[in-house]
Amino acid sequence: MTGIAVAGEVRDAVGAGAPVVALESTIFTHGLPRPLDLEVAREAEKALRADGVVPATVGVVDGVPTVGLTDAQIERLATDDAAVKVSIRDLPVAAAKRLGGGTTVAATSMLAHRAGVRVFATGGLGGVHHGASTTFDESADLVALAATPVVVVSAGVKSILDIGATLERLETLNIPVVGYRTTRYPGFYVADSGHRLDHAVDGPDEAAAVARARDELGLSSAVLVANPVPAVDELDPAEHGRLVAGAWDAAERAGIVGHDITPFLLDHIQRATGGRSLEVNVAVYRNNVAVAGDIARALAPSASA
């Protein structure tokens, strides 16, 4: 594949029909503080390997989109203050300037698909921002997922977003969303965002069956598996509602707009919870990685033989 580096281990696993799970890199380049970022990245890979799944962490190294970062490359990106956040539109710029960076959900999904990786684990998706009817502020994740036939396991979209509007956009874009053993759409920090889902899967085998049916129908969208954070790990729902409202009030008072909104809101919630939201973030990711590994094993050709 011209322009994309695929690790030999990942290429061999895909060729052999073995289970592989793609992992994004923005979680350790931009999402978590040091040294937790590197610890979580390494833990995710270790957990997948322990379950017989090949991890394929995706990132950009010296301008080269890479599927299956080495441990040294992960450490390099996790400790690089100059690392940039790379979505699909940024890939040619990163390549030309030989930048290093963490790939977003959009870029990770696209690169994983190009490498033949069928399952991707992330924390929360991007979506429609509040006020998007006038600002048109909507994550590129949504459009990318409409054209990328992978299975994405997430805990919904980040709860600071307009979840109802995001679900409407997903429907318009013909992206199937299934709850993982639930018909309630998760809200990242909480298990239930207050929105209902039309469909659920009862486990990894049924999730894999949905993906196979999508492929047999020749459809090109992702299948989104909405996996709620375990109840024992979630923020108190009533507290969560107050925190999100307070974060938005603080952003409005500070005049924060555009791409600065999301990091401001998440940082506000983290400080307001004394770091508790960070613990939930990590719990969300661990849970999604585990479920993605289960689905990857169920989706592997040997599982359906």
- Write out the catalytic residue numbers: 24, 158
Instruction: Give the CA distances from residue 69 to residues 76, 134, 243, 276, in Å, rounded to whole numbers and listed in that order.
Output: 10, 39, 36, 30
Instruction: Say how far residue 208 (Cα) sits from the centre of its chain.
Output: 18
Cα 200 from Cα 72, distance rounded (Å): 39
Cα 258 from Cα 203, distance rounded (Å): 38
CB contact at 8 A, 221 and 173: yes
Cα 262 from Cα 104, distance rounded (Å): 14
CB contact at 8 A, 208 and 298: yes
Instruction: Decide the pairing of beta strands 84-86 and 20-23.
Output: unpaired
Token duo for residue 13:
């696993």
What is the three-class DSSP state of 105? Answer: helix
CB contact at 8 A, 21 and 52: no
Token duo for residue 35:
């040294």
State residue 196 phi and psi, 5-degree precision.
-95, 150
